Structure 1
Amino acid sequence: MTTVSRRATLSPRQLTRTGERSSFVYLERCTVHRDANAITAEDAEGTTHIPSATIGTLLLGPGTRITHQAMSVLGETGAAVCWVGEQGVRYYAGGRALTRSSALAEAQAVQWANVRSRLGVARAMYRLRFPDEDPAGLTRHELLGREGRRVKDCYRTQAARTGVPWRGRRYTPGDFTSGDAVNQAVTAAAQCMYGIAHAVVASLGCSPALGFVHSGHELSFVLDVADLYKTEIGIPLAFDIAAEDQEDVGPRTRRALRDRINETTLLDRCVEDIKGLLLPGGAPAGTVSNADPDVVTLQSDGGRAVAAGRNYGGGEGYSDVEASW
């Protein structure tokens, strides 16, 4: 009988292009196994078959167990896997990126390494957050000042809208209960948004550390991405939760944010926003995903890339395998 270990591994050219896959498939409270080249999700209601080649990233939520064979087929078909909280609200761990292309990671490094382009991305992030303002020509200090004023205005606006008293942002690291109910809700929403952003950044193969607004931390870019949705989603939702009830603010905020993420398809939006920020001239949908995932080149002089799998020592008769090794 055919065993998993004897099945032929699919080559990248046999795989479904990432742009034609479901961006994210979320599972919770089930056992994930393998059946041929599909994965199965088994729970109390039965077994669901999911063709593994149609998955961009598999998000494993609470209560999931996954077998070695399931991980094997996901690896063969180029799917990313992330271990997350409910509905992707927190990010715990992940394996490989959603794409085999290094295009986004290289674009991020190029944009980050140049002081002018780094500032340009920071301005673009500000424009995404506050489309009614044009940050062109603003310095770093001016951007930070304007961002601070806009966030303060958001707090005041939401307080007036919901009737929740606001006495300023109060949060003591490591002591969640030190703030009042609305501050606890804002903290819970922020932590959830960091998890969501981290899951997307990891899935795309970007560096979590190379930030354009934040700096000096291993999650600087994650914080940048999470902040894109702070005044639009995180803060208003936190005030809504605090206005409803002062009890169990943290869990209620996380559940409400989970539902809002689904309603607004925020995960897909994060993907497109990151592409638009990092790729030259912005990125139409699927730009990176549709790139050939099996292209490997070598860097040469003058920014030129040359074919891999060849020996450039001047000798003749080298095969691709011989040249690579």
Structure 2
Amino acid sequence: MAIGAKPPTLPELVRAQDRLTFIYLEKCAIHRDANAITATDDRGVIHIPAASLGTLLLGPGTTVTQQAMVLMAESGSTVVWVGEEGVRYYAHGRSLANSSRLLDAQAALVSNQSARLRVAREMYAMRFPGEDTSGLTMQQLRGREGSRIRKAYREHSKQYKVPWNGRTYDVEAYEDSDPVNQALSAANTSLYGVVHSVIVALGCSPGLGFVHTGHTRSFVYDIADLYKVELTIPLSFELAAEQPFDIGGEARRRLRDRFHGGAILDRCVRDIRHLLLPDDAETAEDDLGENVVRLWDGSRRTVAAGSNYAEVPF
């Protein structure tokens, strides 16, 4: 039996914030060649270094081998299966994170009503520069955010001379939407994939949201909302004015270019850490953590796992 390439060691992996944001593939066969992912179609083969990839979005017509998935898991990259035009989420792969430090903080914060409200207020404060959100209720925060979003839609509609009749879309009938909504759906799905990859790479739970709740990607939507007014909304109106042949594909390509220029992965990592561990000075690399399991010993104490504690009196 052939032996494949050795998995990369922790120091060899590219930090989450320094990786490529995402690559969308459809109608191709995905395999592994040493430490690279290959995508093959009737035009040839391309090689994608797995350790420098944040998210691989797999669209219709893709087949992926077990070895390709093993490599993605070993490299700490995330695979997300999406629908046609990349506008529907189906499933995702695992990440490399071993440490539960950020996850522990996330669970503690979301489980305490006062702490959860503080985090939610901080999320809104990040969207409203210069405004004091410390005394606002969730209802007041939502109202202010709604006004902000409506204003952004109106301004870009006027700027690009594109009619806007509201955010309406149907994942089962993507092409029935107007061009702005088509572009928004494609761009937002790509944004969700990138944010999702950072969240799981850091060992956090995509489902433990502070503003959004009740969905397996609630935290993904929380973090993605920090960037929509800046990224996906203006891009969507711009594309609707240009009317490209494939507006969904062009939205993904343009968004990827803007991600590259805006260092979005680094920003996303910093924002998540700021929200969950605001007083922690440790670096993001520490969130990968050593592959060490410990046992809870009451209060905040822990003891080593893998030991027999039968001699401890009951």
Above 0.5 in TM-score? yes
Contact 1:163 1:243 (C-alpha < 8 Å) held by counterparts:
yes
> How far, CA to CA, are the matches of 1:300 and 1:141 in structure 2?
40
Amino acid aligned to 2:3: V
For 1:259, the equivalent position in structure 2 comes to 257
Once the two structures are superposed, residues 155-192 of structure 1 have per-residue CA deviations (whole angstroms, 9 ceiling, x without a partner) of: 12212222223333334564435543333333333333
Aligned with 1:180 (options 171, 178, 181): 178
C-alpha RMSD of matched pairs (Å): 3.8
1:114 corresponds to = 112
SS in 2 for 1:302: coil
* Among 1, 11, 19, the residue aligned to 1:16: 11
Pick from 273, 293, 310: which aligns with 1:313?
310
* Mapped pair 1:4 → 2:3: yes
Q: 2:76 aligns with which of 79, 98, 112?
A: 79
Q: How does 1:129-208 map to 2 (within 5 A)?
A: 129-172=127-170, 174-208=172-206
1:320 corresponds to: none
Give me the whole-angstrom Cα distance separating, in 1, the residues matched to 2:67 and 2:170: 44
CA contact (8 A) 1:209 1:217 kept: yes
C-alpha contact (below 8 Å) 1:89/1:195 kept by paired residues: no
The alpha carbon displacement at 1:148 in A equals 0.7
8 Å CA contact 1:32–1:64 kept in 2: the answer is no
Cα drift, residue 236 of structure 1: 0.7
Change beyond 3 A, Cα 1:32–1:296: same
Counterpart residue identity of residue 111, structure 2: A
Instruction: Give the structure-2-normalised TM-score.
Output: 0.78
1:279-313 Cα deviation digits (max 9, x unpaired): 24266642543x64222111121222222122223
Superposed, 1:17-36 pairs within 5 Å as 23-24=19-20, 32-35=31-34
Report the Cα distance in structure 2 between the residues aligned to 1:269 and 1:104, rounded to whole angstroms.
16
Q: Which has the higher contact order (CA 8 A, sep 6+)?
A: 2
Opposite residue 308 of structure 1, the aligned amino acid is A
Q: Which residue of structure 2 lines up, in the alignment, with residue 319 of structure 1?
A: none
Contact kept in structure 1, 2:78 and 2:94, CA below 8 Å: yes
Corresponding residue of 1:216: 214
Secondary structure of the residue that 2:165 maps to in structure 1? coil
CA contact (8 A) 1:123 1:135 kept: yes
Q: Is the 8 A contact 2:97 2:289 kept in 1?
A: no
Q: Choose from 284, 287, 305 the match for 1:286.
A: 284
Task: Tell me the residue number matched to 2:228.
Answer: 230
* Structure 1 pair 296–238 and aligned structure 2 pair: CA distance change class (3 A): same
Contact 1:197–1:222 (Cα < 8 Å) also in 2: yes
Measured at CA, do residues 70 and 247 of structure 1 come closer, stay the same or move farther in structure 2, by a change above 3 Å?
closer
2:299 corresponds, among 287, 294, 302, to: 302
Alpha carbons 1:121, 1:277 under 8 Å: kept: yes
What is the SS of the residue equivalent to 1:230? coil
- SS at 1:101 equivalent: coil
Change (3 A) 1:143 1:287: farther
Q: Provide, for residues 76-98 of structure 1, a one-character-per-residue CA deviation record: whole Å limited to 9, x for no partner.
A: x5534414669x99765433223
Distance 1:18 1:114, change over 3 A: farther
Which has the greater radius of gyration? 1
Offset at 1:228? 1.1
Residues matched between the structures, number: 305
Q: In the TM superposition, what is the alpha-carbon distance from 1:209 to its structure 2 partner?
A: 1.6
TM superposition shift of 1:149: 0.9
Whole-Å Cα distance in 2 between the matches of residues 174 and 120 of structure 1?
A: 37
Any unmatched runs of 5+ in structure 1? Answer: 317-325
Name the CA distance, whole Å, in 1 between partners of 2:249 and 2:290.
40
Cα distance in 1, alignment partners of residues 53 and 169 from structure 2: 37
Structure 2: distance between partners of 1:208 and 1:47: 31
Q: What 5-or-longer segments of structure 2 have no aligned partner?
A: none
Q: Output the CA distance in 1 between the equivalents of 2:29 and 2:171.
A: 34
Percent identity, aligned pairs only, is 41
Q: TM-score of the superposition, structure 1-length normalised?
A: 0.76
